[in-house]
Every structure is written in C-alpha cells, then in structure tokens.
Structure 1
Amino acid sequence: MTTAVQPSEAHPFKIGVPLSASTPVAFEPFDLPSSNQRVLGPPHPKNTVTPLALKPAIRDSAETDLDSVVNTIKSLQAQGGILTKALARHGTLLFRGLPIHNAQDFSKFAHAFGYQPHEIIGIVVNRPVLAPNVAPANEAPKEVLIYNHNESPQVPHAPEYIFFYGHRVPEKGGETPISSSLELFYRAQQEIPEFVSELAEKGILSKVTYKLEKQYEGGSTLKQAFGKKILDGDDEATRRAKIEAQIARYGRGKHTTWEWTEDGSIVLTHQLPAIRTQPETNIPTLFTGLAAYYKNNQHNANSGRKNSAQQLFGDETPIPEKYLAHLANITDEIRVLHKWERGDVLVYDNIIAQHGRQPWEGQQEDRVVMASLFDGHSVPGAYGDEDWAQVVQALDG
C-alpha cells in the first residue's frame, strides 16, 4: 500500500491513503473561507496555506468510524511521519467531519499520531484531566482574551504538538487564532531589526508567580503547578522541598532560580531564548508570548485579571512597549481566526505556529474546547550557543 503526497497549485501538500477494503478512509484537502485560511508569507514555501484543512473521504457507502480514522493516521505516520511533515510545512492542520464525540474519542485520535504525552511542569492554568492526556483548553471567563502565543513560552519545558477538539462551539465569537511564528520572526527582522538583535543577544527573563490560591478564574495553584508528590500530612518544610524538587526537573541550573515569599507563594525566574529554530530547516522562529502579554493586558485590564508572568529582557531591563505593540500589529495582519464547527480538531506544530482564544457571546458553557499536548523529539527548536539558551527535556526524577 502506498500513500499519495502530491503538490498542486491549490493544495501544495495532499495527504491520503488509497481507498481499499482494509483502509476505507482517506483524507482530502478542502478550502476554507479567507477569514479562516490564508496563504503564508515568507519564509514559508510558495502557496503554503494555514491551516491545511482535511476531511475524510470514504469508500463507497462505508461509514467513517473512529477505528478506521485512527488506523489511517497510524499508517500515514508509519510512512516517514507524513502528518508530522505536513505540520512542519503548514504549522496547523484542521480535521473536520471526524467521528469524535467526547474526550475519550479525542484522546484516541490524538494518541494515534505516535507522539509522547507532554507533562506540564509549572502549569499556570487549571487543566483537570478528562481522558488520557486530555484536559480543558482554558477555563478562563468568556470575556477574557487570550492572544496569539506559542504554548508555554514562559517556562523551559514546552510541548511540541498541540491538539484542540471543539466539543461545543458558540454561535458568535470564541474563535481560535492561527498564525505563523516563522512569519512573525521574518517580519520583525525586516521591520524592527534592532529589537530582534537585542532579543537574540539577551534572551528573555521570565518571572512567574505561583500562589497558594488561584490568582484568577481558570488559573492554577502552586500545588497544581509543582505539588504532584505532596501528601496531605506533609509539613511546610516537606512541601517546599517537594516543590523545589519538581522545579529542579527543568535541568536549568543557574538559569532557573526561585524565591519564597512571606505568604507562601513562590516566584520563579527563568532566563530563556525567545528566538529558536525549526528543526531540519534551521529557519528562525519567534517562540514567544510577548504580543499576548501586551494585548491581554490591554483587553483584560478592567476584569482585574493580571498575567502571572512578567517578561523582561535577559539583563532585567524592560522591553519597550513600542516593540510589543509592533509584534501585535504584525500578528493581527498574519493571523486567521478559526471559526469552530462541532467536532473540529486543530493540530499545531508549537515550534512554528501560535494559537489563542477569542471572547464569545452567550453563556460560558457554550464553548467547550479540549486540549491534548505532546512532546516531539526535542523541546521546541534549537537555541544557539549562548549558555543561558540551553533548554532540555524534563525527566522524571
């Protein structure tokens, strides 16, 4: 059995398994409205769209059952990681029309790609487990804007692949943005080169505060972030030792430090790279949430919600707001807003694609999007030769 991956003018990456009795499902690309899909600019290959939208094509009158879909995914991945390569080109894939109806179905589909489930160390949002490696994407109030960002840019250990499943979708609003952090870097280097040079030289100093109680609706507590081994009977010294042991799993040495405060909170400081590179191509990507910190603070100012993370240049000097605003302006120009249909699955290559969440009208429960996070072969991207830029996979210890 062979797999077709053929270039065309409309869809430079076609993905499918020839239909047969043993594989009754294939995936075929389809077009979305221009508000939901765009052709990426440099440095992406010509005529590359994001997201690449795929839907099942079935043999004769066969029904699209989940087992057949999962087997097709596994077959594609077994042939040189066809879907992984598509992600590396397009940044984001949309699967529509799949027989996914709940968290268990979604978990089964996501695991079919063959990636290693990601453990979040130092989580800043509350994500209760709904199924194996599945949790709510974000439970912040519907009025809250979550602007475009790469996942987990404020901590050293980030996932490489992100899956979102639209279980319930609102009539108005609630879109999930899609934008390229390769294109963001390219534009920033052209338009604000002095800022990019400073980022490359200094990196980012990320200060993240974790408190005993959640700091905002949908946020995490200190125990949720680092308390996986804390027991109810542990005294204060034992609890702190167990939290510090989890922090040590970052493997960052002097580049991750922490300070306990009088109220029992902890402030972590990470020195991190904001510029990384896409594996194999070595094209630079702006792996960051800098525009999100700027836009979120603007939009959510009246809600009393504040970022738990503070972002500075690596030498602890403030990042001028004009640069953050410029990044946001570029992002507004290069992003699309995915209008959800129930059952949609979006898959992001977190190294090169940014996501977020738009506010929506109606009730909080009108939008239910689930997430599943996975590691690839390395923490997203390479980091250059600077000592502070070393980022490693977190190992259980």
Structure 2
Amino acid sequence: MAAISTQSVAAAGKLDTPVANGLSFEPFDLPASNQRTLGEPHQPNTVIPLALQPSNNHTGASSVSLDAAVDTIRTLQQNNGTLTDLLARHGTLLFRGLPIHSAQDFSKFAHAFGYKPHEIIGIVVNRPLLAPNVAPANEAPKEVLIYNHNESPQVPHAPEYIFFYCHRAPTIGGETPISSSVELFHRAKQAIPDFIDNLAAKGILSKVTYKVEKQYAGGSTLAQAFGKDIVEGDDEATQRKKIEAQIARYGRGDHTTWEWSDDGQTLTLTHRLPAIRTQPGTELPTLFSALAAYYKNAQINNLTAQARKNAVSQVYGDGSPIPEVYLQKLSEITDEIRVLHKWQQGDVLVYDNVIAQHGRQPWGGEQEDRVVLASLFDGTVPGPFGSQDWEKLVQAAETAMY
C-alpha cells in the first residue's frame, strides 16, 4: 500500500492508496535546526518541512526502485492530489532515501507529480538545461549568500512549485533555507503594519535590467531571457520585435513597460506587481517577495550584491523608496521563522512557491562540492489580496505573437 501517516495530517484521515509495487512513505523527524512547527495562521502541529522516506517495510534505498517511487507518487497524486494537499499545508516536503542519482532520475521523479513544466520568461540567472525541465539551481560563486525569497517575484510569471535535488552535498555550509511566507506575512502585519498596508495599497515597482552580456557571475543574458525565437540572420528590428513579443506573453498590458537603451545593448522592464498574494483554497495572504533577500544580500555580498542590485531593484508601486527599517525587520522575522536544510546526497526538497521561501547559504571547500539541481512547475496562480487591476496575475500565454 502507498501510505503517508503523520500527526499533522491526521484530521484528513488515513492517506492510503493501493499501489501494486507495495512502496509506501512515512514521516520522520529532522533536527530542530532543520525542522520546526509553524506558527499562526498555520494549522496546529504543522511542521516545515514534512520529511518523508520509504517505510520501514523497506531496508533502504537499495531495495527501492526509482520506477516504484515514481509509480507511488503518480498514484498518490491521482488520489485527489494527496501530495499537492500536503504541500499546501506544510509548504515544503523532503524526500529522502530514494534512488535518485542523476539529473535524468530527478526529472523522472519530479514529473511524476503531474504538474505542467514552467517556462521561465525573462530569466535573470543562467540555468542551462541538463535533463527535461532540469537545470542548475544557481551557479553563483559559493561565497554568495542568496537569502530567503519566493522564486521569481521580480517578474509577473512565477512557478507555483519548485523541486531541488542534491547531487553532491558540501561538508561545510551550503544549506538551503526553508520558511513560510504565510507566517512571514502574519508576523509582519503585527510588527510593521504600516509596511504591509503600503504594500497592499501600492504594490511593488520591479525594475529588471537585461544586457547583451551577463551582468554578474551566474546571471543571464538578454538572449537567454527573451531571445528564444531569434535565429541567425535576424536584423536588429526583427530581434527587437521577437523580444517584445516574448514580453507581451506576460499578459500584463500597461502594468509591464520597457525601454531600450545603449543602442539596443540594454533592455529595462518595469513591472507593477503585488507583493501580497493569496493561497488558492485557503485565501490566506502570503508575502510573495524577495525584499528581505535584496536587503540581506546587499549587506553580505558586497560587490556581487551591487551588480545584482543594478540588475533588479524594487520600490513601492508609486515609485517611493521602501524604508530600510522595514526591510531590516522583515529579515529579522525571517531569521526567527526559518530553518536551514542540511543536505544529504539524493535529497529532494519540494516547495509550494506560493507559500514557502527558499535560498542558499555559502559553503566551504570548492565550488563543485555542492551540486543542487532545480525543476520548476506551474500550478494554480495565486489570487490577489485586493481588488486593484495591477494585483491580478495570469499564466503567461503559450506562444509569442509577432
């Protein structure tokens, strides 16, 4: 039988689905530095991450086949989206003890959840494809801190689910942070209500700059961001037309504008976006943001942070700056509610990107001592917090029209 049983989901009844191969998952505890009980407004006794492993009926990963794990995942998802429901409650799931040894294995496992692969439009980091819908999580130098954030809050088209697979775990550092952006909103509303009120009323102006050449180590180029339809021989006018057609796929109308400069070497997009969104199903508000990350990264990363700041900047939706005191408090709250996932080789973390934040700690040793791959997927687009037109988000159009 395929089963997951845990105190925090007991109210939903026994989660038991017949699978011919007999594989099942069971929850297990992690150290306090790696797992915590979520605060309000989450349901009582809800941990993040919910850690799952093959049940005691199996002697270890060597006795579990990847095909059996994939079949079990598919069946659990076909049973009313069991794992999607767990993600919506816990925010993050950890799978450990499975025979995932390569980008191809990881791709097969991630696709078993049945989500639609996410196409990144306007990518700001370089993610070369390694297997179907699998790329490096981030190729920035190992000294660079990437603080807690939701994926792609600087653009209108963000994934709903993120999968991370640890192919090689560092000995020192390199943890992946985990925190709830629902709890972050709740705590920030209590501690800095004026900040939340301003975000709700004004939203965010997100300015993203793309250049023909990458702006920092691990960053993307203009061609990687919007040039997928450009072919050799296209003149400058045709290239611009194809790039602008990709931007139009966001479906944001006047809420996304752009400007060319430096004789076509630089393209700057300005998006008016909601930093507060709501979780589908519960309608709980979630602070979908990288504001604390921009603040914290700038403090730690020095020159690298300045290059990133030049590429992405965010202010209130009316153009006024966000007071630093608010960003400092936001990072303090994040420090209090986050845990740091200590990777083991073969681990897979799955995030509900609408309600959970991730990041990356620096590590010791060599750059190649930590190899974490990512796979991004679409789901239900989060809803608006209010009723203003700029708060509404949609899935990007399937194809560009030009």
TM bin, normalised by shorter chain, reads over 0.9
Q: For residues 5 and 29 of structure 1, do their structure 2 counterparts lie closer, same or farther at Cα, with a shift above 3 Å needed?
A: closer
One-letter code aligned to 1:44? H
| Matched position secondary structure for 2:55 | strand
Q: Deviations over 1:3-32 (max 9, x none)?
A: 656552798789864687x22210000000
Equivalent residue for 1:382? 384
| Partner Cα distance (1:331, 1:33) in 2 | 19
Q: Deviations over 1:99-146 (max 9, x none)?
A: 000000000000000000000000000000000000000000000010
Equivalent residue for 2:34? 36
Residues 232-247 of structure 1 aligned to structure 2 (within 5 Å): 232-247=232-247
| Partner Cα distance (2:368, 2:12) in 1 | 36
Aligned residue among 44, 47, 56 for 1:46:
44
Q: Is the aligned partner of 1:326 residue 2:353?
A: no
Q: For residues 57 and 327 of structure 1, do their structure 2 counterparts lie closer, same or farther at Cα, with a shift above 3 Å needed?
A: same
| Partner Cα distance (2:124, 2:56) in 1 | 42
| Matched position secondary structure for 1:41 | coil
Equivalent residue for 2:147? 147
| Partner Cα distance (2:248, 2:56) in 1 | 50
Q: Deviations over 1:225-268 (max 9, x none)?
A: 00000012111111111100000000100000000012421000
Q: For residues 242 and 332 of structure 1, do their structure 2 counterparts lie closer, same or farther at Cα, with a shift above 3 Å needed?
A: same
| Partner Cα distance (1:10, 1:225) in 2 | 41
Equivalent residue for 1:118? 118
Q: Is the 8 A contact 1:77 1:83 kept in 2?
A: yes
TM-score by length of 1: 0.95
Residues 137-216 of structure 1 aligned to structure 2 (within 5 Å): 137-216=137-216
| Partner Cα distance (2:10, 2:291) in 1 | 32
Q: Is the 8 A contact 2:285 2:385 kept in 1?
A: no
Q: Deviations over 1:148-204 (max 9, x none)?
A: 000000000000000000001100010000000000000000010011001000000
| Residue 380 of structure 1: how far off its partner (Å) | 3.2
Equivalent residue for 1:396? 398
One-letter code aligned to 1:325? Q
Q: RMSD between aligned alpha carbons?
A: 1.9
Q: For residues 233 and 257 of structure 1, do their structure 2 counterparts lie closer, same or farther at Cα, with a shift above 3 Å needed?
A: same
Q: Is the 8 A contact 2:7 2:45 kept in 1?
A: no
One-letter code aligned to 2:334? T
| Partner Cα distance (1:330, 1:48) in 2 | 19
Q: Deviations over 1:276-305 (max 9, x none)?
A: 111111110000000001011111114464
Unmatched tracts of structure 2, length 5 or more: none
| Partner Cα distance (1:355, 1:15) in 2 | 30
Equivalent residue for 1:282? 283
One-letter code aligned to 1:51? P
Aligned residue among 337, 347, 353 for 2:356:
353
Q: Is the 8 A contact 2:200 2:276 kept in 1?
A: yes
One-letter code aligned to 2:322? I
Q: For residues 292 and 324 of structure 1, do their structure 2 counterparts lie closer, same or farther at Cα, with a shift above 3 Å needed?
A: same
Unmatched tracts of structure 1, length 5 or more: none
| Matched position secondary structure for 1:259 | strand
TM-score by length of 2: 0.94
Equivalent residue for 2:7? 8
Q: For residues 265 and 219 of structure 1, do their structure 2 counterparts lie closer, same or farther at Cα, with a shift above 3 Å needed?
A: same
Equivalent residue for 1:306? 308
Q: For residues 229 and 302 of structure 1, do their structure 2 counterparts lie closer, same or farther at Cα, with a shift above 3 Å needed?
A: closer
Aligned length: 394
| Partner Cα distance (2:130, 2:57) in 1 | 33
Equivalent residue for 1:366? 369
| Partner Cα distance (1:11, 1:30) in 2 | 15
| Partner Cα distance (1:13, 1:102) in 2 | 35
Q: For residues 116 and 19 of structure 1, do their structure 2 counterparts lie closer, same or farther at Cα, with a shift above 3 Å needed?
A: closer
Q: For residues 18 and 80 of structure 1, do their structure 2 counterparts lie closer, same or farther at Cα, with a shift above 3 Å needed?
A: closer
Q: For residues 215 and 11 of structure 1, do their structure 2 counterparts lie closer, same or farther at Cα, with a shift above 3 Å needed?
A: farther
| Residue 387 of structure 1: how far off its partner (Å) | 1.1
